[in-house]
Amino acid sequence: MKFSKDIARGREKFAPLPEQLVLKSARVIDPEQGIDDLFDLAIENGVIKSVEKDATISPDFSGEVLDLSGKVITPGWLDLHAHLREPGREDEETIESGALAAANGGFTAVCCMSDTNPAIDTQEIIQYIKDRARGLLVEVLPVAAATKKREGQELTEILDLVGQGAAAISDDPHPILKSEIMRRVLEYSRMIPIPVIVNAEDASMTGKGYLHEGFVSTRLGLGGMPSVAEDLMIGRDLLLSEYTGGLLHISHISTKKAVELIHGAKQRGVKVTADVTPHHLALTDEAVLGFDTNTKVNPPLRSEEDRQALIEGLRKGIIDVIASDHSPHSWEEKASEFIYAPFGVVGLETALSVASTVLCHQAGMDIKELIPKFAVNPYRVLGKTPPAVAAGQPANLTILDPSARWTLSEKNLLSKSHNTPFIGWEMQGKPFGVINKGQMFFSAR
């Protein structure tokens, strides 16, 4: 029996999961259980009934069967770092459109950062986001501001925000410049416990910069953002984390020195984790030479030496997570001159494909090595148990097509914004679909 409905390929909404569904002949990779083999999955009423090799389907079976030969099934993915803009900039993204973009990129959960307008600094805003996300396939996890209005001056009611459902604390994309404030936030993180997600940047050194400080910035005659501005703040935050015992997560690291500092801190037992974005793995500041505002990101695209260090740090496990830093902006804002355009690119829908292209097909990693960076470690950072591909567990699954070759165009994107430097890129590997909360969605390419 074949899968009889081309459901969810209308790309406009999530579809109900059939009451009975069998996923046939997929390579199942679940790092937590040590699974990497071909299996058939039977799902009933949104729960995994069995995971078997060469399962026999009864002739009177009335459900749906989907042949997934050549595909990979993993536990559902979590993106640790996305800016979903609602409330405040619904023209750029909403909770619903962000959830669709996340599902289209293979994610079944996403952390929405605190830089909304108003900021996520009250229980009411957290509840608003939870209400807006109710009923969606993708779980939306609010990240609460560390300081009121994200101004870095006065702590929010952190305990109340966590009690209301905040999954982490962060003022990103603002750095917390005052060391005493950062110390107190880390102390709270140790008590709860909950991670503090930081943008490591000494803003006094980067305020007049637009790209990485180096040969390219000099050639273009534009103010640079030195790598030491990131390294200095990482060094400070690591020392504060070591002193307080707080849980530090350093987001979107971009320098070779950052990898070295984090490695050394982990060896000393500091409670630190880190993530890297696909665009920092794929691009260098050379991409800025054409003044494409979609290459303007913060932290900026760095040197080739930095890029290679990030890949090696990921391979060695120094970097724990690949996160999108999904930052939608309107076409009008990104269409301005380079120095006036906002920082950021959309990344939820290209994270897998860019990472697969760069890490698997260029750097020689196996897709198996990427799965923990998307499906396991993000949950561990938040102190949560990752989903499992196991009988009796809710069906929370990401399905990949690692051998697919395709070219990204705007029509492939479900985000309300399309500010990405990867339009026209030939990709290898793509999401195929997701299953969660009794719903399913298949990516259309």
Active site residues: 325
SS (H, E, C) 110-162: EEECCCCCCCCCCHHHHHHHHHHHCCCCCEEEEEECCEHHHCCCCECCHHHHH
Give the residues across from 77 on adjacent strands. 107
> What separation in angstroms does the CA of 97 have from each of 8, 224, 345, 358?
15, 34, 16, 27
Residue (of 143, 146, 150, 93) closest to 118 by Cα position: 150
Q: What 3-state DSSP class applies to 24? A: strand
Query: Is residue 110 within 8 Å of residue 82, measured between CB atoms?
Result: yes
DSSP state of 345: B
Angstrom distance (rounded) from CA 304 to CA 261: 19
Q: For strands 139-144 and 107-112, give the pairing.
A: parallel
Angstrom distance (rounded) from CA 322 to CA 377: 9
Angstrom distance (rounded) from CA 196 to CA 184: 11
Query: Is residue 97 within 8 Å of residue 414, measured between CB atoms?
Result: yes
Angstrom distance (rounded) from CA 44 to CA 163: 33
Give the residues across from 169 on adjacent strands. 144, 196
307 backbone φψ class: left, alpha, beta (φ>0; ψ -120 to 50) = alpha
